[in-house]
Amino acid sequence: VSDGPLTGKHVLVTSGPTHEPIDPVRYIANRSSGAQGTAIAAALRDLGARVTFVTGPASVPPPEGVAVVRVETARQMLEAVEAALPADAAVMAAAVADWRVANAAGQKMKKDGSGKAPALEFAENPDILATVSKGANRPALVVGFAAETEKVVDHATTKRLRKGCDWIVANDVSPETGIMGGTENAVTLITEAGAEVWPRMTKDQVARQLAARIAQALA
């Protein structure tokens, strides 16, 4: 652990997608690579924080020098997050599936020859960010993300209030931005004071700026 402004602080970071099983061999997922969450965990570590990194099945490896907790589903992620508290700050960068398959099969689903496709039913997953923000063990600073494809600031501002977190890092993930799965990000930081538009930069630079802001806020 390096020495820095976050030495002695525990920061929880969630990252990556979640996988929600359909049957033992199939799942529903999303396009999150885990790149931004991984970069944030590394940047916090570099400022001296003790980092617990709760990650879904991401396509980039977790950073070194952090405590990695691997999960698959949203419900497992919530359990891991609650087990990791208390923390001084939490950064919830995971792209948690909003729904899981309610009628997931215990055995591999088979074509039955009738030509009829199975019907999946969905149930809403717990909202990890809202649960932590409103929970008894709430970290002093809770940061959420908002991946939007339109009206980014409006939606993110509403989201900040609804979820009960302190900050929202909002970004535009429209396909034409190339942000989802790419190396760059263009974010707007929403705080109680309003919206701050950051210039487009690499995900590593976003991570370092955010880590520096977190250090300031916890100082």
Query: Binding residue for ligand C5P (CB under 6 A) from 145, 167, 185, 210?
Result: 145
- 103 a catalytic residue: no
Flag whether 218 is marked binding. Answer: no
Query: Binding residue for ligand C5P (CB under 6 A) from 125, 133, 171, 185?
Result: 125
Q: Does 37 bind ligand C5P (CB under 6 A)?
A: no
- Please, which residues have CB within 8 angstroms of residue 18's CB and are 6 or more apart in sequence? 29, 30, 56, 57, 71, 72, 73, 74, 76, 77, 94, 95, 96, 97, 125
Q: Does 144 bind ligand C5P (CB under 6 A)?
A: yes
Flag whether 108 is marked binding. Answer: yes
Dump the DSSP string for 75-117.
HHHHHHHHHH---SEEEE--B--SEEETT--SS-----SS-PP
Footprint on residues 73-92 left by ligand C5P (CB under 6 A): 74, 92
The CA distance from 41 to 157, in Å, is 24
Task: Give SS3 for 160.
Answer: helix
Residue identified by tokens 């995971």 is 94
4/198 with CB nearer ligand C5P: 198
Q: Does 101 bind ligand C5P (CB under 6 A)?
A: no
Query: Binding residue for ligand C5P (CB under 6 A) from 22, 51, 96, 173?
Result: 96
Length of the chain: 219
Q: Which stretch binds ligand C5P (CB under 6 A): 1-9, 22-30, 110-118, 140-148?
A: 140-148
Nearest to ligand C5P by Cβ — which residue?
128
The single residue of 30, 137, 171, 185 carrying the catalytic annotation is 30
Q: Is the peptide bond before 126 cis (omega within 30 degrees of 0)?
A: no
Flag whether 126 is marked binding. Answer: yes
- Please, which residues have CB within 8 angstroms of residue 156's CB and are 6 or more apart in sequence? 146, 148, 168, 170, 188, 190, 195
42/109 with CB nearer ligand C5P: 42
Query: Binding residue for ligand C5P (CB under 6 A) from 47, 89, 128, 190?
Result: 128
Q: What is the dihedral of CA 49, 54, 60, 65, to 10 degrees?
A: 30
**Would you please indicate which residues are annotated as catalytic (active-site) residues?**
30
Q: Provide the annotated binding site for CTP.
A: 98, 108, 126-129, 145, 159, 163
The site for ligand C5P (CB under 6 A) is made up of 14, 74, 92, 94, 96, 98, 125, 127-129, 144-146, 159
